[in-house]
Amino acid sequence: MKMIGTHTAAFGMMAALSAMSATAQNMSFGADNFYRSDIVTVQPIAFPSQFQTTVVGNLFTRHNLTRSVSAPAIIVGHPMGAVKEQSANLYATKLAEQGFVTVSLDLPFWGSSEGEPRNGVSPDYFAEAFSAAVDYLGTQDFVDRERIGALGICASGGFIISAAKIDPRMKAIATVSMYDMGAVSRNGLHKSQSLEQRKEIIAGAAQQRWVEIEGGETQYTGGTINNLTADSPPVAREFYDFYRTPRGEFTPADTTPELTTHPTLSSNSKFMNFYPYNDIDSISPRPILFVAGDQAHSREFTEDAYARAAEPKELLWVPRAGHVDLYDRVELIPFNRLTQYFRANLVAN
């Protein structure tokens, strides 16, 4: 009887699993967004931006870090609409294992960092958060303030480039699966959006300002679809698989799953005015390493930035990887190359 019971339960579970498989997450290539390391200590931190808003992050240090010798440090930025628990903590952990002091942070208006409205967009505040992290790290006595680098995933690649242009304390820059939020907001992916369509979006955001100033409800836009349908396009499915399944789903305190990833409609138009790659060549002679999957739907943003950047610059296409694959698939993410790059470029003067 017991045997039969177990059998029936096993069958029931298999049926449930196969019914789910159409939407279940894809954990291939070692997807491990929530990875924790046995040799790294994670400590919550908070520090002020220049505008006196609090930026919240995590500090990662290897257990055996010699605190009397100042170490090189790396700041890690999360994808747009995400929080530090998504991809940024993973990169920060892996780089801390290699002996770097690392910080992941929540961009202002997102996660635990201050800023109103929640889910707001301000490229200036986003860039400022990375300079504020340099302030924080550079005033720790176990960090060498001459050896601070920054790594941005997805949109944070663009935010870090915009920060680095005016903050030479960032000595080496890396971007992974970079998105230029300015270009994609203005033109769509692969320049699929016309000027007329752009103007409609801008007009919609402006109209929504009237609603909000008169006490109406906040509207949200963009981000990752909450529900898959038969018509959901491949790019939407790619993000859904990460943000809306246990593979990468994370809901910070004081928010709800339905609101995660979605910026406010009235602030999102700020991206129309964001040109992170203008003057990117002025970052030289500090180096930039651009990493993206050769299958990434976002390739154009890495190609454009790489073409415009001055030497020294490196471009690494990860074979067979798509855009979101490099958020969490540890068998595809080139952690060794990133480690070598920061070791070679965060060197004592």
Q: Is 226 in the site for ligand NAG (CB under 6 A)?
A: yes
Pairing status of strand 101-105 against strand 54-62 = antiparallel
Dihedral angle of Cα 132, 135, 136, 137, to the nearest 10 degrees: 120
Structure tokens at 116: 């109103």
Cβ of residue 325: shortest distance to ligand NAG, in angstroms? 5
Instruction: Pick out residues in 270-329 that bind ligand NAG (CB under 6 A).
Output: 322, 325
Decide: 152 and 241 in contact? Cβ < 8 Å. no
Binding range to ligand NAG, per CB under 6 A, among 23-31, 76-84, 104-112, 297-305: 23-31
> Phi, psi at residue 54, to the nearest 5°?
-90, 130
Using CB under 6 A, count the residues that bind ligand NAG.
12
Cβ of residue 126: shortest distance to ligand NAG, in angstroms? 25
Cα gap 10→115, rounded to integer Å: 49
Provide the 10 A C-beta neighbour count for residue 25: 16
Cα gap 48→318, rounded to integer Å: 36
Region of 282 (left: φ > 0; alpha: ψ -120 to 50; beta: rest) is alpha
Binding range to ligand NAG, per CB under 6 A, among 21-29, 43-51, 274-282, 335-343: 21-29
Provide the 10 A C-beta neighbour count for residue 280: 24
Cβ of residue 226: shortest distance to ligand NAG, in angstroms? 4
Q: Is 257 in the site for ligand NAG (CB under 6 A)?
A: yes
Figure out which of the listed residues 24, 25, 29, 32 binds ligand NAG, where binding follows CB under 6 A.
Answer: 29
Cβ of residue 286: shortest distance to ligand NAG, in angstroms? 28
3-state secondary structure of 113: coil
Closest by Cα among 205, 149, 157 to 181: 157
Instruction: Pick out residues in 48-67 that bind ligand NAG (CB under 6 A).
Output: 62, 64
Q: Is 37 in the site for ligand NAG (CB under 6 A)?
A: no
Q: Is 21 in the site for ligand NAG (CB under 6 A)?
A: no
Cα gap 255→264, rounded to integer Å: 14
Pairing status of strand 101-105 against strand 172-176 = unpaired
Instruction: Pick out residues in 170-199 that bind ligand NAG (CB under 6 A).
Output: none
Figure out which of the listed residues 200, 258, 279, 331 binds ligand NAG, where binding follows CB under 6 A.
Answer: 258
Structure tokens at 77: 């930025």
Cβ of residue 28: shortest distance to ligand NAG, in angstroms? 4
Decide: 290 and 314 in contact? Cβ < 8 Å. yes
Figure out which of the listed residues 25, 26, 54, 245 binds ligand NAG, where binding follows CB under 6 A.
Answer: 26
Q: Is 28 in the site for ligand NAG (CB under 6 A)?
A: yes
Figure out which of the listed residues 227, 230, 231, 234 binds ligand NAG, where binding follows CB under 6 A.
Answer: 227
* Shorter beta-carbon distance to ligand NAG: residue 32 or 135: 32
Cβ of residue 237: shortest distance to ligand NAG, in angstroms? 9
User: Site residues (CB under 6 A) for ligand NAG?
Assistant: 26, 28-29, 39, 62, 64, 226-227, 257-258, 322, 325
